[in-house]
Structure formats: structure tokens, C-alpha cells
Structure 1
Amino acid sequence: MACCTGEQCKTWSKENALLLATLAGVALGIIVGVAMREANFTNLQIEYFVFPGELLLRMLKLMILPLIICSLITGVSSLDQGSSGKMGLRAVAYYMSTTLIAVVIGIVLVVTIQPGRAGKDDLESTGESPDVAAVDAILDILRNIFPDNIVQACFQQYQSFRVPIYGNVSERVTYQTTPPPEATTFPPVTEIVETIVDYEIDGQYKLGINVLGIITFCITFGILIGAQKDGEIVIRFFSACNEAVMKMIMLVIWYSPIGIIFLIAGEIMKMDDPQETLTQLGLYMATVIAGLAIHGLIVLPLIYLVIVRRNPFKYLAGVTQALMTALATSSSSATLPVTISNLEQKNKVDKRVTRFVVPIGATINMDGTALYEAVAAIFIAQLNGIYLNFGQIITVSLTATLASIGAAGVPQAGLVTLVIVLSAVGLPSDDISLILAVDWLLDRIRTTVNVLGDSIGAGVLQRLSRKELETKSKDFENDAYQDSDYETTSTVSESGSFPKIYPNSDKRKIEYGNENVAYADESSTSL
């Protein structure tokens, strides 16, 4: 195979300049982080150092809310109720299936390798374990799916907690074995003892976008507005907003290589003793990373190859920018703008698919998180010398699959859902603190797998939903033919998109993507 000419290499480099800059940012971030450890910066100095990275995170998070709202409403409204329902069911079924596969891979590896067989005597706790009841966490997910205030859901999530109710007040008299100073007697000490007899549920709102609630509202709104004949102007409004948001996202993406350098370097600089951590938790880390690699680089590409029948690695090369952003930010929600941009521009995925499926996937498709939770739960059981029977392992797999759906797409949210998995089989949740030392790294890797799963899912679901997408396009084209005032100028774009209708001198032009479909006389058709 002949090597590319200088002109070809130059053209390829120009087309992939952003990707090359991102890869260079990751490599440079690792090098800078390792080198700057020798400077022994204080925590305050490190916070100042990572400020350019913080700006990247803030800009990406700024785009999340308008992107979810505009993309979901435009994507869902461009499909009829039957098509959107079928695509939604396929999406949920696909995400649940791949998540369950990821959990099974993790369980097989952790049971085979047994990274926790040495016990926990040599491990040190770092940080604190989340204090949350499993049933309350599950109910909070349902509460957030149906927020009581859609405006509040844009910046706050609901979180419940238990308030103890005390009763059975009693006195307890104790006698001291050592008299107090300057005393010759041993006076008894009376204590008032209150026993917790019950709990009541209270709640509070914490900062953070309620993504589940926003998605529920936008899908419902999009379906209903798309079914209304007079809903065209609303669809055009959100379509224009979505295009503007995507252009803003491109500006942010060009800054991302700089931010990535400082985010990765800052995390490396914060590590206390990498060598000791690797010695204590190296086998556990290797088990998790091996499971994520098998799922992300073998299983998911194989699913894509079987269903789509195209080269999966060429497809993944198109979303490398999103994967690197996920590695740097450890947030699938913050990476959402980059993921949609890569899928539409690099991989030419139908916009109706990306804008409907990807926001849902970034919220409920957590393959990497589910695998991590399963491995961590069984690892903690091995540390404590607890044998899990087959039924308990099945419980871990199902609980990890379901709990990962409720994991918010923010850094280290998997630790909270891990408590649910541990509680399901009676394992001590306090031992989560034993694995916190390496969670920052594993969190980034599993987030990358989550985003990879979202990207593969978009391609697979486009293939599975091709009949509905083609039918919708043909229906629109037939409408143009049947209306005597329409003059057809070209065929419907195979890339697919929701229709855009806007004035063009004395005619109204209807577009799918960038290809003209029809022109209508402005005087004969009201907008």
C-alpha cells in the first residue's frame, strides 16, 4: 500500500486538526502532570493551576441544558408518534442489554481474578462513603423523573433523607471506676437515653440539572407538538435555537485541547503516592480496566459490526474527540455537546437519531459505571472474606444494571449508586472509602466507555430504525408531490433530519439537512 503524498497528508492533517490537537493535549497533560509533581505544589496552588481546565468544564456544562431541550424537542417532533415510540423502545432495550453484558463481563473477571483475596489489612481508607439508603435513592430517581417544577428542574435535583424519630426515653445509671479529681467517693452518673423508634422522610433540593426530568418533559412536549398541525412555528423556533447552540459548541470544542491539558495534569498532581496506591489496589484497577477494555474495544464494536455491517473502528475514529473529552472531564453530560457534534459531522449519523437518542443515552446508558459497580461490590466482599452465592451474584448483576440508569452523568456519581448495589446483598458500604484513592482514574475511564457506548448506540439504532426514518422522509416527499403548489427540486437527503422551513424570496423552501426538497409558493401557503 503506497504511502500518502505530501499533499494528502497535509489535507488529512487540516481536516483532523482538532482531533490531533486533542490527542496532543492528552499526551501533554500527562507529561506536564508528571513533571509538575516535582514542584510539590500545595492544594491551593494546584487549584489555580487547573483554572483553564475549570473554564472548559464550565463552558461545556453551560451548553448541556439548551442542547438537551432543543435537540430532544426538534428530534422527537420530526418523528411521528409511532416512530418515536419504536425508536425509544429500541433505545431502552439496547441500552439495558449492553449494560447487562458489561456487568456480566465485570463479574466474570472479578470472580476469576479475585483481586480482593489478600484482605483489607494493608489498605487505607480515604474520604468518606456516601450515606444513602438504597430504597430512598431509587425513589429519588422516580421523583426526579417527574419534577414538580420544570423551571426548578433546570438547576436543581431533589434528594431525600431520613430524619430519626426518638422515643422510649429512659435513664441509665453508670458507676465510675476512677473517681474525679479531688473526690474520695465514686458518685453514680445518670444518663438520659433516647432510642430511635422510627424515621420520617424529608427532602431538599441540591444544585445540579435534573436531566431525567428535563428529558421526560422534552420528549412528551416534542411528541405532542409534532402531532399538531399548528406546531410548525414552535418546531422552527427550537430548530433555529439548536443550530445556534451547535455553533456555540464548536467554539468551545476548539478551546478543549487547552483545557484538557490542565485537567489531566491537575489530577496527576493531586495524587498523594501513586506507587503505594498502585501496590495496594493495582490488581483491582487492572480488573476494572480489563473489563472496560473488553466491553469497549471488543463487545461494542462487534455489536456494531454485526448489526450495521461496517467497520466499527473507523466509526469510533470519528468520535475520538468526544472520547478524549470524556477522559478529561469524567462527565458524560459535559461531553454530550461534543458527542452530538462528532456523530453528526464526522460520522454523518441522522440528526433525528442523535438528537433523540444521544441525550437519553448520556443519562441512562452507563455501561462502564455498571461494570465498575459490579466489580467493586464483589471486590469489597472478597476483602471482607464474604462468599457470595450464585443468587447473590445475580442480585449484584441486576442491581448494578438498574442502579447505573440512575447515575447522573457527573463525576463520581457511581459511588452513590454503588451503595445501592452493596446494600442489596448486605455488604458494608463503609468500605467504599477503601477504593476512593483510585476512583478518580477509573471514573475517567468508565466515563469514556459510557460515551463510547452512546456513540455506538446511535449508529446501531439508526440502522435498526431505518424503515421508520425512510417512511417519514417519503411521507414528507409525497406531501410535496401531492400539493399542486409545490415544485420538487431534489430528493430527500439520506442523512436525514427534521424538516426546516423558512422564507426564500417569494417562495418557501423546505430542507432536510442541507439538501433542498421542495419549494412552495409563499402566497398559496401560510406559515
Structure 2
Amino acid sequence: MIDDSPWNRYRSVPLVYRIAVGFVLGGIFGFIVGKPAAALEPLGTLFLRLLKMLVVPLIVFTLLSGVKQLTPTKLGRIGGSVVGLYLATTAIAGFLGLVVANILNPGTGVQFTGGKAQSASPPSLGEVFLNIVPTNPVAAFGNGDVLSIVFFTLVFGLGLAIARDSTESEHVRDGIKTFFEIVDGIVEGLFTVVWGVMEYGVVGVFALLATSMATHGLGAIESLAMLVAAVALGTLLQISITYLGLITMLGLGQHPIKFLRGAKDAMVTAFSIRSSTGTLPVTMQNAEDDLKIDESLYGFSLPLGATINMDGAAIRQAITAVFAANLFGVHLGLGDQVTLLVTVVLVSIGTAGVPGAGLIMLTVVLQSVSLPLTVVGFVAGVDPILGRIATMNNVTGDLAVATLAAKWNNAIDFSTGVWTDDETAGETGLAISD
């Protein structure tokens, strides 16, 4: 007998659509009710805290579960392809951002007033790479330093895998195998928790949008509409040309709609919460359940991508820098724009995948071409919507790179998931919620 209870009817609707409805209704509710809607903020904050709670455990245990299948040679091959793709897509993103900015010229003929920006010093390339290695792994875990956590966990897991395959002690070998089996069980448990958090996410996203609309309203967004439109167009071009065209159609030989079906949950979640690392639990589940990428690859590439692959940030920073130049009547020559592009790519690597980090890193980009930092005060008014657009781009790029790297390393199954010819495949939202 089929259970036709209201709860089951509710859950029969794909989770991604329920979250999208919560997003829209939350915005409408906040706009109509106004400031009293800000009382819902704790419900939204709870959703963000639940996601952040899962980030470090997921990184550690999925990496350990994936690395058990890797040899140093295979890791070097996978790591090289993943990092190379991340750098390439970020460079393309920055270039597309500059093209859009030069065509639309946001900020021309517009005057703003605003506050002062917080200044930051640009990190050197050497600092970026040295900071990957933690001097104190315990402190890295405590501070949530994702890239350092990835490095330490990867080295530790690879050491266990090598010891398992090279030791002559059966006791040691069995102990390591048992450890990895326990890790696999923990991963399954974590994904069950992800399911529960995402079910609550419908309420959380509603509260987040209601609070955002009640706090900021439409005025700040309307005053900088051209900047928002330019970033949105740059993102659309990056997704269409780079991820769907170059990677999905040419690199994978697959239809773009199939990839979008597999990435939609992560894209909606990223747009809702403005955090690449916060979206990581959903991104990993899309990779495994929908895109059918092997854990040995996505367990490495996605945590890394959530930290260093900031294509959306590259687009946003490039366009905002041109916006600032137009705002203050400064002409950016070819040399300035080349400097801007290089800075955007390097800075995006060090941009934290959390809400608000883009504003701080924008000061670095503006300093590179000697532009006034006061523009950051203007941009802060529309930071919520710019951050959502950029973050959605970031996680889409993470999944696109992981998919192509998986094909290159024979770590993906194109005979199932969203890659089948069944039009309904992948339309059930998160598979774990079925």
C-alpha cells in the first residue's frame, strides 16, 4: 500500500525545487513584512552552522576514504590534472569578466557615496603555497583552514595506504584495512546527516532570504543594477562557454543538460547560502550520486576546489575593478588590465569560500591598479547578490573540473546517473532523500 501522507507527498517533490521555492517565498516574505522578518535570522543561521559543522569531517573522512585507492603515481597524475584545470578555468573566468566589463562599462556616468574600505596586502605566490603546509595540524583543524586540512589529511592518508601495501606485518596491514573500513562507515553516516540538514535547508533558506530582504531591501541592489547585470552576464558566459561548451561537450562528449541535472542541487544551495565550503556536503553528494564520479577523485578535487577554484570570484573582481575605474574616471590601459587579470587569478586562489571574503580581497585587486578603495563601500550594498552569483559559479566549476578530471583518470561511470538517456534520471534531487 502506498503511503500518501502529507510528509511523503512533500518529500516526493525533488529537494532542489523545495529549496528554490523556499528561496523565492523567503524573499517575498521579507519584502512584504519588512524589518520584523529579520526575527527569522536564527533559523537561517542555524542552517549555515549545520553545514559548516559538516565541512571539516566530510573533508577529512572523504579524503581518507578516497586516498586508500591511490598510489603516489596516481595521485600525482590526478593532482596535476585537477590543479591545471582549476588554474585554466580561473584564467578564462577573469578574461571573460574583463571582456564583459569593457563592453558594458558599468559605473560610467554614475556617482555614489559610501564608506571607507578595509585594506589588505596582496599575498605573494610563495606565501600562497607555503600556507598550504600547516605548522600545527591541530590548529589548522581548529581554525578551519581548509587547504591545510586537505594537505595534512592527504599526506596522512597516503602514508597509511603506502604502509598497508608495503608492510610485511600482517597485524599492521589488517589494522590499516580496519581503519579504512571504519572511515567508509563514517562517510556513510555523514551523508545521512547531510540528508537531514538539507531537509531542514528548505526552512533555513527561507529564513536567510527573508532576513536578507528585510535588512537590505531593493534600494541598494537597484542603485548598482548594472554591476550586478555585468557579473551575472560574465557568470552566464563562463558556465555556458567553459563548463558546458569546452568541458561538457568537447571534453566529455556529453549533452550539457545532463551535467546541469547532476549539478543543480549544489548550484541552488551555493546561490542560497553564499559559501563554497558550506555547499561542499551537497557538492560531494552530487558528484557521487548523480555524476557518478569515483570517491578517489572527488574526495580530493572538491575540497581543494572549494578552497582554490574561485572562478566566480575572478569574474566578480575583474568586473568590479573596471566598475571602480569608470566610477572615478580612471582609464585602464592594456598593461593595467593584464596586471589586473594576473592579480585576479592569484587572489582568487587565496579567497576563502565563505560569505563576505570577496570584499576584503577586492581591496587587493584595486590596489594592484592603484584604484581608490572607497568603492568597496559602494559594492558592499550589493555584496549579498554578487556573492550568490559568484559562489554558484564556483561550485559549478568545481564539479565541471572534477568530471573532466574523472574522465581523464577513468574515475567516472557514464553508464548510469544523469549520463543515461532516461530523461527522468537525476530528477529526484538528492538520491539519499528518496
TM-score by length of 1: 0.71
Per-residue deviation, residues 298-318 of structure 1 (Å, max 9, x unmatched):
431112111111122222122
Cα distance between partner residues in 2 of 1:419 and 1:23: 33
- Between the two proteins, what is the percent identity of the paired residues? 31
Equivalent position to 1:29, from 21, 26, 34: 26
What corresponds to 1:259 in structure 2?
204
> Are 2:324 and 1:389 aligned?
no
Give the match's secondary structure for 1:224: helix
What one-letter code is carried by the residue in structure 2 that aligns with 1:72?
Answer: L
Q: 1:297–1:107: structure 2 CA closer, same or farther, 3 Å change rule?
A: same
Cα distance between partner residues in 2 of 1:131 and 1:325: 30
What corresponds to 1:228 in structure 2?
163
> Are 2:192 and 1:247 aligned?
yes
What corresponds to 2:293 in structure 1?
349
Structure 1 unmatched ranges of 5 or more: 1-10, 157-208, 471-491, 496-527
Checking the alignment, whether the CA contact within 8 Å between 2:235 and 2:393 is kept in structure 1 is: yes
What corresponds to 1:67 in structure 2?
58
> Are 2:99 and 1:99 aligned?
no
Shift of 1:370: 0.7
What corresponds to 1:52 in structure 2?
43
Moved over 3 A (4+): 11-16, 138-144, 492-495
What corresponds to 1:144 in structure 2?
131
> Are 2:287 and 1:296 aligned?
no
What corresponds to 1:399 in structure 2?
343
Per-residue deviation, residues 18-40 of structure 1 (Å, max 9, x unmatched):
22312221222222122222xx4
Shift of 1:234: 3.0
Shift of 1:142: 4.4
What one-letter code is carried by the residue in structure 1 that aligns with 2:330?
Answer: I
Shift of 1:16: 5.1
Cα distance between partner residues in 2 of 1:226 and 1:59: 31
Give the match's secondary structure for 1:314: helix
Shift of 1:383: 1.4
Structure 2 matches for 1:250-329, cutoff 5 A? 250-272=195-217, 274-275=218-219, 277-278=221-222, 280-302=223-245, 303-329=247-273
Shift of 1:319: 2.5
Shift of 1:361: 0.9
Checking the alignment, whether the CA contact within 8 Å between 1:144 and 1:210 is kept in structure 2 is: no
Cα distance between partner residues in 1 of 2:328 and 2:138: 46
Per-residue deviation, residues 143-202 of structure 1 (Å, max 9, x unmatched):
53222211111122xxxxxxxxxxxxxxxxxxxxxxxxxxxxxxxxxxxxxxxxxxxxxx
Checking the alignment, whether the CA contact within 8 Å between 2:114 and 2:377 is kept in structure 1 is: yes
What corresponds to 2:142 in structure 1?
155
Shift of 1:15: 6.0
Cα distance between partner residues in 2 of 1:376 and 1:311: 33
Question: Which structure's residues are more often strand, by fraction?
Answer: 1
Equivalent position to 1:76, from 67, 75, 81: 67
Checking the alignment, whether the CA contact within 8 Å between 1:52 and 1:262 is kept in structure 2 is: yes
Shift of 1:324: 1.5
Checking the alignment, whether the CA contact within 8 Å between 1:53 and 1:259 is kept in structure 2 is: yes
What corresponds to 1:217 in structure 2?
152
Checking the alignment, whether the CA contact within 8 Å between 1:226 and 1:235 is kept in structure 2 is: no
Give the match's secondary structure for 1:145: coil
Give the match's secondary structure for 1:421: helix
Q: 1:29–1:276: structure 2 CA closer, same or farther, 3 Å change rule?
A: closer
Comparing 257-266 with 71-80, greater Cα deviation is found at 71-80
Shift of 1:367: 0.5
Per-residue deviation, residues 101-149 of structure 1 (Å, max 9, x unmatched):
1111110111121112215xx31215x412222247x676445322221
What one-letter code is carried by the residue in structure 1 that aligns with 2:119?
Answer: D
What corresponds to 2:376 in structure 1?
432
Give the match's secondary structure for 1:228: helix
Q: Which has the higher contact order (CA 8 A, sep 6+)?
A: 2
> Are 2:69 and 1:125 aligned?
no
What one-letter code is carried by the residue in structure 1 that aligns with 2:290?
Answer: K
Q: 1:493–1:132: structure 2 CA closer, same or farther, 3 Å change rule?
A: closer
User: Matched residue pairs, number?
Assistant: 399
Cα distance between partner residues in 2 of 1:141 and 1:412: 20
TM-score by length of 2: 0.86
Cα distance between partner residues in 1 of 2:224 and 2:24: 24
Cα distance between partner residues in 2 of 1:436 and 1:143: 31
Per-residue deviation, residues 62-101 of structure 1 (Å, max 9, x unmatched):
0001000111122122111111111111001101111111
Checking the alignment, whether the CA contact within 8 Å between 1:129 and 1:429 is kept in structure 2 is: yes
What corresponds to 1:114 in structure 2?
105
What one-letter code is carried by the residue in structure 2 that aligns with 1:220?
Answer: V
Cα distance between partner residues in 2 of 1:36 and 1:12: 29
Cα distance between partner residues in 2 of 1:140 and 1:123: 36
What one-letter code is carried by the residue in structure 2 that aligns with 1:292?
Answer: T
> Are 2:392 and 1:448 aligned?
yes
Checking the alignment, whether the CA contact within 8 Å between 1:103 and 1:400 is kept in structure 2 is: yes
Shift of 1:421: 1.5
Question: Which structure's residues are more often helix, by fraction?
Answer: 2
What one-letter code is carried by the residue in structure 2 that aligns with 1:416?
Answer: I
Cα distance between partner residues in 1 of 2:384 and 2:181: 42
Checking the alignment, whether the CA contact within 8 Å between 1:26 and 1:324 is kept in structure 2 is: no
Cα distance between partner residues in 2 of 1:140 and 1:63: 28
Cα distance between partner residues in 1 of 2:250 and 2:10: 31
Structure 2 unmatched ranges of 5 or more: 1-7, 165-172, 417-434
What one-letter code is carried by the residue in structure 1 that aligns with 2:396?
Answer: L
> Are 2:325 and 1:338 aligned?
no
Checking the alignment, whether the CA contact within 8 Å between 1:49 and 1:262 is kept in structure 2 is: yes
Checking the alignment, whether the CA contact within 8 Å between 1:292 and 1:449 is kept in structure 2 is: yes
CA RMSD of aligned residues (A): 2.4
Shift of 1:276: 6.0
Equivalent position to 1:238, from 159, 174, 183: 183
